[in-house]
A and B are shown apart, each in its own frame.
Chain A
């Protein structure tokens, strides 16, 4: 086993400086960002309640389903819903929520995880989620635990107006509140890039006051325009989906998790005549070109699996970032070279394990004591050592007693 690893690690040692040089060049060519994209979050907010706002909940649940389908797990999704549609007494199809009159898709399936439901969907909770300033007893599943490498999708739907969004018919979120929250998030490094998607009347006014860099926002209608529902389901009795969300979903249903469709193709797919409003997006704060950003940067979470031959060692965050980073590296990086970078990471892992296996033969800096301590720190070793120590007590006792006698 030792001879098998040696030539491989030597090869990686030679490869390492070349590729470090290359990757530094590659990094320099991309826009200067301190952190790499490491994870994706989605905050999906439906701000309406009551039966006649069925379509808002259907909107949110459709986005939820899409975002999950494209790879974001439940623990990275904060879903805020009034959640009074599926089991509403007026619902002819109990525990089922549809977004199309053909009832092909039940959005309220087996694994819908609602984090804030009912009366918990308030402006205060929404702002607390965004800024991360919770009471100490709030569980982790209700927190937005993003960091400086996160891409966050923020989707809001409901009833809105000029520079405000109505929350559950009793409160308002104003555009400067939202801008303040986003500014706080940026200062606290809670996101790398943020996509705000709003589907309400006069939606584009809601992000008028935004000033933080790295934010991309799209609204379903401009100031003075209404956003309309798509169609009425005569069976359920209410409109089941809004136009903007309907066309967004139509775009995403054509995608699977490996597609490279860009944000510009998404934004240009909105037809103002079909939407009956102008879908306006704001990209002055967002420095990257929309043709180069895949939609899965925000709407999905695409990870590449890499097979390694070495034993799996629990990776530090820094290392795990390198694996996930492959997708987010600048598009100009060649695919093959990306694979070689991955191999380098692999080599690093093997290089790290080596001293343990070879007992300090490899690196001159690793003295035998530290390798002994490393081996020693594994739980099984401690247990067996303890057992040996305990069992050794008895013969020691017997021998010492017999000797002294």
Chain B
């Protein structure tokens, strides 16, 4: 019976995957990619495809690809994706090749999410077994978090829009997911590679080093260690085999070594490509410097542009520091509280970054919504889930409307658009807060089951 259920489940999974790919391909064949690449929600100065094409053209004209402050991405992306921006096939839509690359990146990310999800689920079941809670919790009700997460990622309208809208988010997301997959499966070179590439493409995945360290040191998500100790105190059988291993530094050293290797490799390649245009310092100024100093104030679904459009020059640096520290100071408390659940920590970090980064787009939201799928079992009792769902739907419908009212019709102003951006930020905050409290509640429930006292 279970086998049949599993078979049906996996059959529909591949159905859904193929359906989403076909849907993406249909959308790609619409004229001009439905003008999605001109939407500010989809393409930001960091992820815009048009800027990539411009950077590639500048490079081909023997000028620095960062000239004119158009392109702010990695020079490696230019070499990889640049030729795709100019190649045209007769009778096909303009950027077919690049869209296909995005679709492939999405599919690969989905497969990696599925594998990591299966890993997490197995780890969860194993930890339940070692806590002897298998009879008390109905494991047959456990959803296949890997499949669900992969399907959420593929069929999410945000992901589809980011893919069809020709942004570089699918590739950045793929790098982040690769890093998490490598860390979960203990494939250290892969994890190091993913982390280095993700940080190189956009600065923010650098903070994923902490969940990766926890993943490599302790292993995938599991209930808090003291629960295990309490359980074994109760049983008075110190069966070391059933205890999860303590924190080990060996994999961390390996990871550091591989990360160093890959970063040297990437930096050498970048240095080669930018030799006569100012070298690595120019690259850091144009990519990381651009991200950190928020030079471009064109509207997006984030909250920084509105604020920095009106801040006085005298206070600009101060507020830049405030906004960036906003992300940084949340790292430590969360890492202390959620150290036994590194994948969930990674999810929370990704969500916070997507909310507070300088140029957010729907591609970033697509990433953490996909990662949310890993925790359907733990987050089953999350409050406000319907409110959040309706909120997301509402914001994604209203935001283009407000943008149109402001820019095209002129009957609205920037406040209209910024309102939707603020509401979106609020929704994300609610999601993060409720998610963390739901996971902590889940841990508390496990503790109650083990110790019998609340």
Contact = CB atoms under 8 A, between A and B. Distances in A.
Task: Classify chain A: how many residues form its interface, as a range.
Answer: 10 to 19
Contact of B187 (A383, A387, A393, A404): A404
Interface-central residue, B62, B265, B272, by most chain A CB under 10 Å: B272
Contacts of B276: 377
Contact of A400 (B79, B258, B272): B258
A397 B189 CA distance: 7
B273 interface: yes
B269 A401 contact: no
Contacts of B359: none
B187 A401 contact: yes
* Chain A contact residues: helix, strand, loop or mixed: helix
B179 interface: no
B193 interface: yes
Interface string A347-388: 000000000000000000000000000000101001101110
A101 to B, nearest CB: 52
B208 interface: no
B79 A386 contact: yes
Interface string B44-65: 0000000000000000001000
A400 B189 contact: yes
A390 interface: yes
Contacts of A387: 79
B210 interface: no
B189 A390 contact: no
B80 interface: yes
Contacts of B187: 401, 404-405
Contacts, number: 38
Contacts of A383: 79
Interface string B264-294: 0100110011011000000000000000000
Contact of A379 (B62, B189, B190, B269): B62
Nearest to A387: B79
B166 to A, nearest CB: 21
A389 interface: yes
B269 A389 contact: yes
B269 A386 contact: yes
A390 to B, nearest CB: 6
Contacts of B79: 383, 386-387, 390
Contacts of A400: 189, 258
Given A379-B62, A387-B79, A400-B258, A393 B265 contact: yes
A336 B99 CA distance: 66
A391 B445 CA distance: 50
A390 B81 CA distance: 12
A235 B276 CA distance: 63
Contacts of B265: 389, 393
Contacts of B76: 386, 390
B96 interface: no
Interface in B346-374: none
Given A387-B79, A390-B79, A404 B272 contact: no
Nearest to B273: A386
A400 B80 CA distance: 22
A386 B272 contact: yes
B272 A401 contact: no
Nearest to B189: A400
Interface string B190-229: 1001000000000000000000000000000000000000
30 contacts: A377-B275, A377-B276, A379-B62, A382-B272, A382-B273, A383-B79, A385-B272, A386-B76, A386-B79, A386-B269, A386-B272, A386-B273, A389-B268, A389-B269, A390-B76, A390-B80, A390-B269, A393-B193, A393-B265, A397-B190, A397-B193, A400-B189, A400-B258, A401-B187, A401-B189, A404-B187, A404-B188, A404-B189, A404-B254, A405-B187
Top-9 shortest CB links A-B = A400-B189, A389-B269, A401-B190, A386-B273, A401-B187, A386-B79, A401-B189, A397-B193, A404-B189
Given A382-B272, A386-B76, A386-B272, 7 more contacts: A377-B275, A382-B275, A386-B273, A389-B268, A390-B269, A393-B265, A397-B193
